[in-house]
Amino acid sequence: MTDLLITAGSVYGPDGPVDADVQVTDGVISRVEAGLAAPRGATVIDARGMYVMPGAIDVHVHSRDPGFPEKEDFGTLTAAAAMGGVTTVLDMPNTVPAVDSAGVLESKAALARPKARVDFGLWGLVRSSSTEDQLEALAAAGAVGFKAYLGYSFSTRRKQVLQSADTDDPELEAPPDYGTLARLAPPIARLGLPLAIHAEDPAILSAFRRPLETYADLLEARPAEAEAVAISAAAEIARECGVNLHVAHLSSALGLRVAQDAMRTGTNLTLETCPQYLWLSDQDFARLGTAMKVFPPIRTAADRDALVEAAAGGVIRIVATDHAPHTDEEKARPFEQAPSGSPGVQQLYLSCLALASRLGDISLAPRWVSEGPAALARLHQTKGAIAPGFDADLVIVDPNRTTLIRPAMMRSRQRRGAFDGTDFRFGIRDVFLRGRAIVRDGKLAGRASGRMVRPAR
């Protein structure tokens, strides 16, 4: 049965924009053509003057659920995602308990499902003690890929990934290192899933550790060399076995150069950067303060410009958010004590549309947030494009409305963020998840109907 007909919009299909109607049958796109007649009983949405775009897939979010309900949960995360036109989120495994086994993944999926307003996928965790069997079981349970946090140790007592290794926890497991990657990359390659890394070399970070009084201290404590060395070493390991090495949150021109060298010599490497690295620089700290404290840090204008150029040129194919909320109280602490991380999922599409528009090619936005991510997560047969046979995850963008980001409109628990006060020159009008409205006229609609996605094997 035809559920929905979206008429007369500018439809961003795989080959660029066309004026067309989009017909949806049983939650799946059935036709994309001009002049379709409305079938009986179908809801008709007039999209004249609007852009019709594929729903975004944010491959890098932190739901904090289970573990830190005061910071975020699947309900608040996916409400924010829906409002921003993100119809699928891929949640990182450093929730508590960390997702290091099939059993934990399954219980996390069961907890997420009733709260999820958008579809979700779950990353599995690589620990230094992880075995091939554990990774195989995680893949069988539906993990979208594996994440290794270089330099982040693991508390076996608290079942938690720890950002800082110098703790007096007696049951601390060593962080995953290049040995871990070399040992586990071949089985991950055989599973056909990506291996994502938090790319900051721990030895370089430890050599440059210092008190953080100013923003310049943070840049000196976490230099671009740390990112470049981690990418370079991991890429050498990945080239041998052909695994898809995925660099999360690329932040520096130096890291980009090293990644490009590796790609030229045949490494199966994908790059992800985030709106905060494409929009902001160290110059914004005076205005934003701890709201822009993230790891790796937001660097110089030259780094930002290099990343924008690489995204415009298709070297970076994925823009994700590293959505990592804390409470507003935690972020209001002094610079050194304030936790790193910032919410972002609600602004992902808007910020990419505004940047794409500035670069003179709107179709870059759906490529960065939908097509590239679908390929990474092996969801490219069902999501990431507006074409017959794909899930009807659709966003209607109003190019005549602007959106001024204010804390009061944020659906995440952390309401203050790095984009407060930014005026994006687009609006998200309606959002559909598998043909069902989850946002109408800029307001949440319907109930939580998200499902877990699994990569094609």
Residue of the chain from 200, 322, 398, 430 that contacts Zn ion (CB under 5 A): 322
Cross-strand pairs, 452: 120
Which CB atom, from 7 or from 94, has the smaller least distance to Zn ion? 94
Which CB atom, from 104 or from 199, has the smaller least distance to Zn ion? 199
Which CB atom, from 322 or from 393, has the smaller least distance to Zn ion? 322
Which CB atom, from 36 or from 345, has the smaller least distance to Zn ion? 345
Q: How far is the CB of 62 from Zn ion (least distance, A)?
A: 6
Q: How far is the CB of 231 from Zn ion (least distance, A)?
A: 16
Three-class secondary structure of residue 317 per DSSP: coil
The answer to whether 65 touches 111, Cβ cutoff 8 Å, is yes
**CB neighbours (10 Å) of residue 401?**
14
Over the window 282 to 321, marking each residue x when it contacts Zn ion by CB under 5 A and - when it does not, the resulting string is: ----------------------------------------
Which CB atom, from 119 or from 322, has the smaller least distance to Zn ion? 322
Contacts of 289 (CB under 8 A, 6+ apart): 335
Residue ranges in 75-134 that form contacts with Zn ion under rule CB under 5 A:
none
Over the window 328 to 367, marking each residue x when it contacts Zn ion by CB under 5 A and - when it does not, the resulting string is: ----------------------------------------
The answer to whether 448 touches 118, Cβ cutoff 8 Å, is no
Q: Minimal CB distance to Zn ion: which residue?
A: 322
Cross-strand pairs, 197: 148, 247
Structure tokens at 261: 């060298």
Residue written as token pair 């699994």? 454
Q: How far is the CB of 294 from Zn ion (least distance, A)?
A: 9
Q: How far is the CB of 38 from Zn ion (least distance, A)?
A: 44
Which CB atom, from 227 or from 322, has the smaller least distance to Zn ion? 322
Which CB atom, from 72 or from 322, has the smaller least distance to Zn ion? 322
Residue ranges in 218-247 that form contacts with Zn ion under rule CB under 5 A:
none
CA dist 314 and 309 (Å) reads 9
Number of residues that bind Zn ion (CB under 5 A): 1
Q: How far is the CB of 265 from Zn ion (least distance, A)?
A: 28
**CB neighbours (10 Å) of residue 390?**
22
Contacts of 85 (CB under 8 A, 6+ apart): 53, 55, 56, 348, 349, 350, 395, 397, 428, 431, 439
The answer to whether 36 touches 7, Cβ cutoff 8 Å, is yes
The answer to whether 40 touches 21, Cβ cutoff 8 Å, is no
Q: How far is the CB of 324 from Zn ion (least distance, A)?
A: 6
Q: How far is the CB of 277 from Zn ion (least distance, A)?
A: 13
Three-class secondary structure of residue 283 per DSSP: helix
Q: Which residues here bind Zn ion, judged by CB under 5 A?
A: 322
